Amino acid sequence: FRIAAVGLGLILFAQGVYVTLMFIDHSPERQRTWAENRPPGFWVSWDEPPIYGLFGFPHQVGWRLVDDLISPDNLPYGSNEEEEITHWYMGYAPRSYCDDINTFVLLEQPWDLMPYDTEQVGTMFVQDEVWVNGRLTLQTLTNQQAETITTHQADGIQLWRTPQELQPSTYSGSNAVDKTLGNNQVRLLGYDLNHNLADADEELTVTLYWQALQPFDQNYQVFVHLIDTDLRAQHDGAPQCDFNPTTHWEPGEIIPDTHTLRLPIDSDLQNLTLQVGMYNLITQERLQFDDIATDSLVLDLTPD
């Protein structure tokens, strides 16, 4: 019995060491430098780690430090890394896929490359460089040019967050709506408007805040229309600038969804109506608002 117990203990110890080497100790980052730094003494059946099948994020690139570098005034941010990773490390700070970003986090080697507007990012300026283990891992860029680029060493920074720090934002817009669509499928919580509307030929930016109440089994487009007697301006598209289809939404998640419309030169906001809603792109069928028996909702263009 003692021999079996000792043997079992050694096996558990070896397994614990392996997990520590692969997923906790990032000096060196073994999955990225497998040939030189594979765990000694552990037999594996592959020469390179598989692309899929290993649990956990594969490397450390300084996201914890980035969270401290981006001030609230420089949100929302964008990135070429996938949302699952950025949300985890950034504590659900507001992220956008549209052209309203104030900061872009550009990774040298993203784990899952997300498409982004290279032309827009090309006009931004590097503010910070983050280094880990002697390697440049990422840069932060903003719309303001810095006098000098600040270099940060991410080694030894805090690696853990409390559950409270990882809670998603509950912000739902400065103008409350609280209307449900599609037999309690999704709720429009509220919206924000830009207020620089005094001059003709201005852009009107509308940010809608959606909350999925049930999983979607099909994708819906969002429409934002400016109407008087005719349709004067519109923006239709999948949520978050076509990057976050409704079938990806998790129940309870709040989705900020920005739409920009060019106001007609002869526009008079007092005579325009802003209408929003959702529809199926294939069938063109609109989701009905549950308690008002209509397929579009009128939003106030001049809220208090």
pLDDT over threshold 80, residue 162: no
Same domain, 71 and 158: yes
| More confidently predicted of 105 and 231 | 105
Q: What's the pLDDT at 84?
A: 82
Look at residue 190 and tell me if it is in a domain.
yes
Same domain, 181 and 295: yes
Give the pLDDT confidence of 195-234 residue by residue, as tens digits.
Answer: 554 444 578 889 999 999 999 999 999 999 998 888 888 9
Q: Give the end of a domain, one of 166, 198, 218.
A: 166
What is the spatial order of strands in the sheet that 135-142 belongs to? 77-79, 103-107, 135-142, 125-132, 150-153
Same domain, 234 and 186: yes
Same domain, 209 and 114: no
Look at residue 254 and tell me if it is in a domain.
yes
Q: What's the pLDDT at 216?
A: 94
pLDDT mean across residues, the chain:
84
Same domain, 53 and 67: no
Q: What's the pLDDT at 225?
A: 95
Same domain, 272 and 210: yes
Q: Give the end of a domain, one of 11, 31, 57.
A: 57
For range 15-27, the mean pLDDT: 74
Q: What's the pLDDT at 284?
A: 93
What contacts 24+ positions apart, CB below 8 Å, involve 171-174? 171/94, 171/209, 171/254, 171/256, 172/209, 172/211, 172/254, 173/207, 173/208, 173/209, 174/303
Q: Give the end of a domain, one of 135, 166, 197.
A: 166
Look at residue 83 and tell me if it is in a domain.
yes
Same domain, 255 and 233: yes
Q: Give me the number of domains the chain comprises.
A: 3
Look at residue 304 and tell me if it is in a domain.
no
Structure confidence at residue 235 as a pLDDT band (50, 70, 90): very high
Q: What's the pLDDT at 290?
A: 92
pTM greater than 0.85: no
Which range is most confident: 148-157, 204-213, 266-275? 204-213
Same domain, 207 and 291: yes
For range 165-174, the mean pLDDT: 82
Same domain, 124 and 32: no
Structural domain range at position 190: 175-299
Look at residue 23 and tell me if it is in a domain.
yes
Same domain, 161 and 268: no
Lowest mean pLDDT among 137-146, 163-172, 240-249: 163-172
Structure confidence at residue 159 as a pLDDT band (50, 70, 90): low
Q: Tell me the percentage of the chain whose pLDDT exceeds 90.
A: 41
Q: What's the pLDDT at 13?
A: 87
Q: What is the CATH number of the domain that holds 292?
A: 2.60.40.10
| More confidently predicted of 137 and 270 | 137
Give the pLDDT confidence of 46-92 residue by residue, as tens digits.
Answer: 676 666 545 445 456 788 788 888 988 898 999 999 888 888 888 78
Look at residue 240 and tell me if it is in a domain.
yes
Q: What's the pLDDT at 130?
A: 93
The end-to-end CA distance of the chain, in Å, is 77
Look at residue 228 and tell me if it is in a domain.
yes
